[in-house]
Each structure stands twice: as C-alpha cells, then as structure tokens.
C-alpha cells in the first residue's frame, strides 16, 4: 500500500514469459492514435478492446466484442485476486515510446467504474499523483510487470500523469530509465451513450 488511500501496486503480476507474449500479441494488432482512426487525436499509439471509447467526444462509440484470448489469463487473475467487484469490460492498450507521457487527468468518473487497473509492460515508469484540491504531488514507481490498482481517493481525488522524461529519480534516489512501455488499462464502463452501443 502507498501513502495514497486506494492505491496499490502489485509487483510481478505477470511473469516475464507472459509479458513477452502479451507484447507480441498486441504488436500483431492494429494500433490507432497519432493521426490514425479511431482515435487520431491521441498523441500515443493505442488499442481498445471490449468497447470503443472516443477521447475526442468523451463517450462510448460502440461495442467491439469480447476481450482477445491473449488477455484471458490476466483477466482471470484480476477476478481471482478480487481486484474489482465488477469485471472489466474495457481494455485500453497505451504505448509510450521513450519521450512520451500522459497529461494529468482523472479517468472520467461518469463513464468508468470505481476501480481502474493498469498493467505496466517492458519499462518501469513514475506515475505522479496530484491531489485535486491541495496540489500535493506524490511519485509512485510502477515497476515493469506490475499491476496498479486505483480506487477510492487514488481514483477520484487525485490526477495521475506520466512525464516525458527519459530518466526519472524517485525521492529515495532510485533512478528509473525509461524505454518503450506498454500499459494495459482495464476499466469497467458504466455509461453507454454511443449510437451503436448495446
Ligand atoms: O499508462 C498507464 O499506466 C496509465 C494510462 C492512463 O492513465 C489512462 O489511459 O487513463
Ligand atoms: Fe488514466
């Protein structure tokens, strides 16, 4: 547990072999973002499974079908470890090349459920949590192959962000060198407003 209520980082959530397979499998799929539909506006490459969420229009556009088979073991582990009472129905794969990050944000509370989980693959990074009211900043290390779970205060009262820095230093002096990172963010969509949603 960290100093942020509702924030947990589970180390070694997947094995090195599982990590390799997960990355190989998603590299065989089509990436969007960086000018490519359906999320051309995003400044990093992404893939979505379960439902298609539009960042531009802030709504669910349509159902995409079940999660791909290559994430079955991870989804089963989420259930086994009872990380959420509502199974995830949306998977966002984000790719961060060295020098790419994500701006401070809170995942839309009206669209996504109370538990947000993110699996870090290939590279560690520092996720910064900024308290929405006090502005207090807390850096949390997300090791390679760890699962981040955000709920309660961590999910609702803080913004989270990842810098573009190639080298990051934690307050205890630990130096983190960034390289290509892929994250699998599992969420439960609770609001379906798109025209082709079911
Ligand atoms: O890359 C991550 O671990 C987090 C991604 C994220 O915060 C998001 O897509 O909302
Ligand atoms: Fe997020």
185 within ligand 1 shell (Cβ under 6 A) = yes
160 within ligand 1 shell (Cβ under 6 A) = yes
Among all bound ligands, the one having the nearest atom to the CA of 100 is 1
**Which CATH architecture does the domain made up of 7-187 adopt?**
Sandwich (2.60)
Strands (E), the chain: 7-10, 45-49, 51-54, 59-63, 90-96, 102-105, 116-121, 125-131, 137-142, 147-150, 158-162, 167-169, 175-177, 181-187
165 within ligand 1 shell (Cβ under 6 A) = no
Give pLDDT tens digits for 49-100.
999 988 888 888 899 999 999 999 999 999 999 999 999 999 999 999 989 9
Complex prediction ipTM: 0.99
Find, among 36, 34, 35, 30, the residue nearest to 48 by Cα. Answer: 30
Asked which of 1-10, 94-103, 150-159, 169-178 is least confident by mean pLDDT, the reply is 1-10
Whole-number Å distance between alpha carbons of 138 and 134: 12
Among all bound ligands, the one having the nearest atom to the CA of 101 is 1
Neighbours of 124 (CB within 10 A): 18
Give pLDDT tens digits for 107-126.
999 999 999 999 999 999 99
- Output the furthest CA–CA distance in the chain (Å, rounded): 50
Whole-number Å distance between alpha carbons of 58 and 8: 27
146 within ligand 1 shell (Cβ under 6 A) = no
DSSP state of 71: G
Domain coordinates in residue numbering, the chain: 7-187
Whole-number Å distance between alpha carbons of 178 and 188: 29
């Amino acid at each position: 547990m960290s100093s942020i209520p509702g924030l947990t980082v589970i180390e070694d959530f997947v094995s090195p072999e599982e990590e390799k397979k997960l990355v190989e499998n998603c590299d065989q799929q089509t990436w969007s973002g960086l000018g490519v539909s359906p999320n051309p506006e995003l400044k990093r490459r992404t893939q979505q499974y379960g439902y298609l969420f539009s960042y531009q229009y802030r709504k669910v556009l349509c159902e995409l079908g079940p999660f791909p088979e290559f994430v079955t073991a991870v989804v089963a582990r989420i259930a086994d470890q009872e990380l959420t009472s509502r199974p995830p129905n949306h998977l966002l794969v984000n790719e961060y090349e060295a020098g790419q990050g994500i701006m401070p944000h809170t995942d839309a509370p009206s669209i996504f459920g109370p538990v947000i989980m993110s699996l870090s693959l290939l590279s560690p990074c520092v996720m910064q949590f900024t308290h929405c009211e006090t502005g207090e900043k807390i850096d949390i290390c997300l090791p390679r192959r760890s699962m981040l779970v955000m709920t309660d205060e961590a999910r609702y009262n803080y913004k989270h962000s990842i810098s573009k820095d190639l080298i990051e230093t934690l307050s205890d002096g630990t130096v983190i060198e960034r390289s290509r990172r892929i994250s699998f963010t599992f969420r439960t969509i609770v609001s379906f407003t798109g025209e082709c949603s079911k």
